[in-house]
């Protein structure tokens, strides 16, 4: 568990510094035609455990990591990928509503919703190494190198280099100058951040240097109506296969992981 304690100290230092940051939510909608929009084509699909109330999704070292939410039901599940055999299921403290996750510095970081804590687990055994404070709610998480990015449901993204001084940067996300709120699950994709926009079928493509939305992906109709049950939830979950570069998406209590490609660019 090389650097495990050092990593936790770095996370704690950085996120404690965050305490004074104000994170007001902004009201916004997705204006049609404001930026290039993309449709999709389904390349393939894999059976997925629909008990997952999917919050975070990441492929790492031949495994798919899933954080599943809800109080008293939150779990971290690990599947072989792409075989989808379940390798491990670790319950989260029943007082915590698990949210987004990412793997950084060979550690699994899991956010919580209202509890204002971030959990850090060792890999591959998923032993809990510790936790640090969050300044507010935790929604989505991703990373680029040693930089951790996360969202809180507002129109801000936050980043901190966990191998640096832990200083937090707050990035407002805008769509043609209008704040775009409800940023949820995140994924770093080819120097962009892709974000599920909660309660929509949209994924926003964000320039991490400016916070501008440079594209919208419309995934309406991805899950067939015949696969929807009473408890089927919204689109949520983006993962890039680091081996093939393929894009996988899913939703809360969905029975499928979908491999997609983008098509039909429009302005």
Q: Is residue 23 part of a domain?
A: no
Q: Residue 198 corresponds to which tokens in the numbers above?
A: 């909660």
**Residue scoring higher pLDDT (128 or 2):** 128
**CATH code where residue 243 lies:** 2.130.10.10
Q: How many residues does the chain have?
A: 267
**Residue scoring higher pLDDT (103 or 27):** 103
Q: Has residue 170 got a pLDDT over 70?
A: yes
Query: Residue 72 contacts by C-beta under 8 Å, 6 or more apart in sequence?
Result: 94
Residue 164, pLDDT score:
78
Read off the pLDDT band of 23 (50, 70, 90).
very low
> Mean of the pLDDT values across residues 212-241?
95
Most confident of 144-148, 183-187, 231-235: 183-187
Average pLDDT, the chain: 87
Q: Is residue 21 part of a domain?
A: no
> Mean of the pLDDT values across residues 151-179?
91
Q: Has residue 64 got a pLDDT over 70?
A: yes
Q: Range with the lowest mean pLDDT among 39-48, 88-97, 127-136, 199-208?
A: 127-136
DSSP helix/strand/coil, 192 = strand
Report how far residue 238's alpha carbon sits from residue 189's, in angstroms, rounded to the nearest whole number: 10
The strand ranges marked E within 11-106 are 37-47, 54-60, 63-68, 75-80, 86-91, 98-104
Domain count, the chain: 1
Determine the Cα angle at 202 with ends 39 and 255, to 5°. 85
Q: Has residue 52 got a pLDDT over 60?
A: yes
Read off φ and ψ for residue 27, nearest 5 degrees. -80, 130
> Mean of the pLDDT values across residues 197-217?
96
Q: Is residue 20 part of a domain?
A: no
CB of 160 closer than 8 Å to CB of 109: no
Domain holding 258, by residue range, is 4-15+29-266
> Mean of the pLDDT values across residues 55-73?
96
Q: Is residue 99 part of a domain?
A: yes
Q: Is residue 47 part of a domain?
A: yes
Q: What predicted TM-score, i.e. pTM, was given to this entire model?
A: 0.87
Burial class (CB in 10 A: 0-12, 13-18, 19+), 209: exposed
- Look at the block and give the residue holding tokens 């892709």: 194
Q: Is residue 24 part of a domain?
A: no
Q: Has residue 55 got a pLDDT over 60?
A: yes
Read off φ and ψ for residue 148, nearest 5 degrees. -90, 130
The sign of the dihedral angle between the CA atoms of 19, 101, 24, 215 is positive
Residue 264, pLDDT score:
74
Residue 81, pLDDT score:
97
Burial class (CB in 10 A: 0-12, 13-18, 19+), 58: buried
Report how far residue 76's alpha carbon sits from residue 93's, in angstroms, rounded to the nearest whole number: 11
Q: Is residue 250 part of a domain?
A: yes
Q: Whole-angstrom distance between the N-terminal and C-terminal Cα of the chain?
A: 49
Query: Residue 5 contacts by C-beta under 8 Å, 6 or more apart in sequence?
Result: 129
């Amino acid at each position: 568990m090389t650097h495990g304690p050092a990593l936790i100290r770095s996370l704690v230092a950085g996120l404690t510094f965050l305490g004074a940051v104000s994170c007001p939510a902004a009201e916004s909608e997705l204006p049609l035609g404001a930026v290039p929009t993309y449709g999709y084509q389904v390349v393939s699909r894999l059976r997925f455990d629909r008990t997952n109330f999917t919050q975070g999704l990441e492929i790492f070292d031949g495994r798919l990591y899933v954080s599943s939410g809800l109080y008293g039901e939150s779990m971290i599940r690990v599947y072989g990928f792409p075989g989808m055999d379940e390798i491990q299921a670790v319950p989260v403290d029943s007082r915590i509503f698990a949210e987004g996750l990412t793997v950084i510095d060979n550690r699994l970081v899991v956010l919580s919703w209202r509890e204002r804590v971030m959990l850090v687990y060792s890999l591959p055994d998923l032993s809990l190494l510790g936790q640090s404070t969050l300044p507010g709610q935790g929604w989505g998480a991703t990373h680029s190198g040693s930089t951790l990015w996360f969202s809180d449901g507002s129109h801000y993204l936050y980043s901190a280099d966990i191998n640096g001084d832990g200083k937090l940067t707050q990035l407002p996300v805008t769509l043609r100058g209008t704040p775009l709120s409800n940023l949820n699950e995140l994924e770093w994709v080819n120097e962009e951040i892709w974000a599920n926009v909660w309660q929509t079928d949209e994924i926003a493509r964000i320039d991490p240097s400016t916070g501008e939305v440079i594209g919208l992906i419309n995934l309406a109709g991805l899950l067939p109506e015949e696969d929807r049950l009473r408890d089927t939830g919204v689109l949520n979950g983006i993962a890039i296969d680091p081996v093939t570069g393929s894009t996988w998406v899913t939703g809360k209590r969905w029975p499928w992981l979908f491999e997609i490609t983008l098509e039909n660019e429009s302005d």
